[in-house]
């Protein structure tokens, strides 16, 4: 705006609100403490609440990779992000060392007199596969977090994907003595691309098959509710302790009975990222001897 003499006396914040208010892309302007200065209409809709002064955490911004973020003043301190990144890199390095160390031992053993080379080679192949799965999961999670892998694109009818995933796990579940059950409303759609829905289901069902224990059931449910559809995967197996439940979605975290498994420790972290990126929420419930239930709730 101008004073009576036609001289522009806008503050930087007012100029930012004027410029961003007409933008047709999801852009936000923050100050050096990550407080909201201005948001375009599209960004305000994504955030749900865009009152000036609201502080947007790094976690909030990471969950909305489509947002274009501009800073009115200096870029805020990045030490927290750098610490998180360094910790993630260290965790990946640690996780990769385990299969590589076992692989080295197997190869050295294969050179000893009387060694069962065929068995050792088979075990070495399993270690290579574990390392490959870890690398694939790390790269996939990175694509999700940077927004290169689109999560929600239209809606997908859940039943055909659930049936296909359970068919794919049938042989493995039979070996583990876990019965797979589907209870899916045939018309319910979820706000995920088919590939993303498949990734969520595969990780949740694989968790049950790996850890529920023999003579158990894994039930996949998809039901419509008034406030949106719900996807749940439940087993009646060993369960986990109360201390483990809040950490199940952390990267590389494994509950006690899973520490010796060949999983990558990223499956539930990937599930959480996909569900939250689609506007949903995910939670887990468990107790020792009472199985594990993971519930994903999606907006209507």
For residue 213, being part of any structural domain is answered with yes
Q: Is 94 a residue of the active site?
A: yes
For residue 79, being part of any structural domain is answered with no
Q: Which residues contact 52 (CB under 8 A, 6 or more apart)?
A: 13, 17, 35, 36, 37, 38
pLDDT confidence of residue 230: 96
pLDDT confidence of residue 60: 73
pLDDT confidence of residue 258: 45
By DSSP bridging, strand 292-297 and strand 281-286 are antiparallel
Is 52 in the same domain as 98?
Answer: no
Is 126 in the same domain as 185?
Answer: no
For residue 6, being part of any structural domain is answered with no
Residue 288 near residue 239, CB atoms below 8 Å: yes
Query: Which of 71, 100, 119 marks a domain boundary?
Result: 71
The rounded distance, in Å, linking the Cα atoms of 87 and 83 is: 6
Residue with tokens 């030490």: 79
Q: Which residues contact 128 (CB under 8 A, 6 or more apart)?
A: 99, 103
Tally of structural domains, the chain: 3
Range of the domain at 52: 12-71
pLDDT confidence of residue 187: 94
For residue 80, being part of any structural domain is answered with no
For residue 7, being part of any structural domain is answered with no
Is 174 in the same domain as 292?
Answer: yes
pLDDT confidence of residue 150: 65
Tokens, residue 186: 């045939």
For residue 229, being part of any structural domain is answered with yes
Q: Mind giving me the DSSP string for 264-300?
A: -S-HHHHHHHHHHHTT-EEEEEE-TTS-EEEEEE---
- Helices in the chain by DSSP H: which ranges? 12-21, 41-47, 58-63, 79-110, 117-146, 158-176, 194-211, 267-277
Is 292 in the same domain as 161?
Answer: yes
Tens-binned pLDDT, residue by residue, of the chain (300 aa): 445 444 444 677 777 777 777 677 788 888 777 788 888 888 888 888 777 888 777 667 767 777 777 776 654 444 444 544 554 555 556 556 666 777 778 788 888 888 888 888 888 887 777 677 667 666 666 666 666 556 766 889 999 999 999 999 999 999 999 999 999 999 999 998 888 899 899 999 999 999 999 999 999 999 999 999 999 999 999 998 888 888 888 876 665 554 445 555 678 888 998 898 888 999 999 989 999 999 999 998
pLDDT confidence of residue 262: 54
Is 119 in the same domain as 185?
Answer: no
* pTM of this structure: 0.58
Q: Which of 18, 94, 217, 285 is catalytic?
A: 94
pLDDT confidence of residue 216: 95
- Cβ count within 10 A of residue 140: 15
Instruction: Supply the CATH number for residue 260's domain.
Output: 3.30.565.10
Q: Mind giving me the DSSP string for 184-203?
A: E-TT-EESS-HHHHHHHHHH
Phi, psi values for residue 6, rounded to 5°: 80, 15
Is 132 in the same domain as 63?
Answer: no
The rounded distance, in Å, linking the Cα atoms of 201 and 161 is: 9
Is 160 in the same domain as 233?
Answer: yes
């Amino acid at each position: 705006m101008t004073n009576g003499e036609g001289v522009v006396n806008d503050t930087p914040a007012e100029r930012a609100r004027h410029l961003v208010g007409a933008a047709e892309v999801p852009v936000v302007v923050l100050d050096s403490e990550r407080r909201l200065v201005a948001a375009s209409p599209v960004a305000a809709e994504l955030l749900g609440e865009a009152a000036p002064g609201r502080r947007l955490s790094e976690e909030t911004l990471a969950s909305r990779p489509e947002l274009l973020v501009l800073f009115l003043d200096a870029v805020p301190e990045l030490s927290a992000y750098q610490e998180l990144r360094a910790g993630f890199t260290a965790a990946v390095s640690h996780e990769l060392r385990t299969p590589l160390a076992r692989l080295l031992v197997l190869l050295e053993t294969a050179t000893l007199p009387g060694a069962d080379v065929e068995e050792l080679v088979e075990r070495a192949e399993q270690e290579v596969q574990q390392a490959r799965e870890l690398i694939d999961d790390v790269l996939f999670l990175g694509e999700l977090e940077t927004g290169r892998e689109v999560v929600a694109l239209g809606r997908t009818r859940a039943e055909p994907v659930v049936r296909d995933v359970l068919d794919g796990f049938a042989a493995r579940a039979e070996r583990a003595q876990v019965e797979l059950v589907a209870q899916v409303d045939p018309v319910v759609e979820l706000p995920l691309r088919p590939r993303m829905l498949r990734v969520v289901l595969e990780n949740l069902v694989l968790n049950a098959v790996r850890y529920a224990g023999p003579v158990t059931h894994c039930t996949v449910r998809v039901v419509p509710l008034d406030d949106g559809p719900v996807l749940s995967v439940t087993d009646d197996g060993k369960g986990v302790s109360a201390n483990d439940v809040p950490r199940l979605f952390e990267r590389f975290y494994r509950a006690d009975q899973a520490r010796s498994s060949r999983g990558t420790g990223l499956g539930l972290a990937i599930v959480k990222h996909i569900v939250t990126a689609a506007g949903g929420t995910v939670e887990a419930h468990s107790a020792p001897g009472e199985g594990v239930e993971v519930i994903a709730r999606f907006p209507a």
